[in-house]
Amino acid sequence: MKMRSLYTLVFFLVVACSAEQPPLLAEQLQIARPLPGTSMGAGYLTLQNNSDEKISITRVHSPELESVEMHESVLEDGVSRMYKLQEVVILPGRTVRFEAGAKHLMLRYRATIPAQMTLHFYAGETLMLSIGATFED
Ligand SMILES: [Cu+2]
């Protein structure tokens, strides 16, 4: 995947919780444009748990996209496969990195690629984090 086509900018961070310090922070968001002829692209970021309780992300949703899944790439007998994750647990004070070849967001686009998108991270029914992204070019 070319780095040139793989870039986004975070333009806002909103936390749904009323806590003074956001329990969950996102950093280093990078979203790959879908490969030509496909509707799928990967998303990478770091999630940091600033709270003193574990956070279990069970769902990611974007109104602008067809679907978002949490995936993990695993090397099995020399072949890279990816699996859907039902949850990603972030322990208190720790970070979880979504990156190439490991955990990642799998974004399924609609026919039109949006210039901007929002991603909502849920722990059960609780909205933990909303981030917005826009393609830079
Ligand atoms: Cu995937």
Model pLDDT for residues 82-133, shown as the tens digit of each residue: 999 999 999 999 999 999 999 999 999 999 889 889 999 999 999 999 998 8
**Residues forming a β-bridge with 10:** 133
Q: In the block, which residue shows the tokens 């990478």?
A: 44
Cα 104 to middle of ligand 1, angstroms? 6
Going from the Cα of 22 to the center of ligand 1, the distance in angstroms, rounded, reads 28
Identify the residue whose tokens are 């990967």: 42
Positive or negative, the CA dihedral 137, 63, 68, 112 is negative
CA dist., res. 108 & res. 136, Å (int):
19
The β-bridge relationship of strands 103-108 and 40-49 is antiparallel
Work out whether strand 79-84 and strand 24-31 pair parallel, antiparallel, or are unpaired. unpaired
pTM (predicted TM-score):
0.84
What is the 30 CA–ligand 1 centroid distance (Å)? 14
Spacing, Cα 40 to ligand 1 middle (Å):
9
Q: How far is the CA of 49 from the centre of ligand 1 (A)?
A: 23
Distance 128 CA to ligand 1 centre (A): 22
- Please tell me the distance from the alpha carbon of residue 70 to that of residue 85, in angstroms, as a whole number: 5
Report the chain's mean pLDDT, rounded to a whole number.
Answer: 86
pLDDT above 70 (res 37): yes
Q: Which residue has the higher pLDDT, 4 or 98?
A: 98
Quote the CA–CA distance of 21 and 42 in Å, as a whole number: 29
Of 23, 46, 14, 45, nearest to 123 by C-alpha is 23
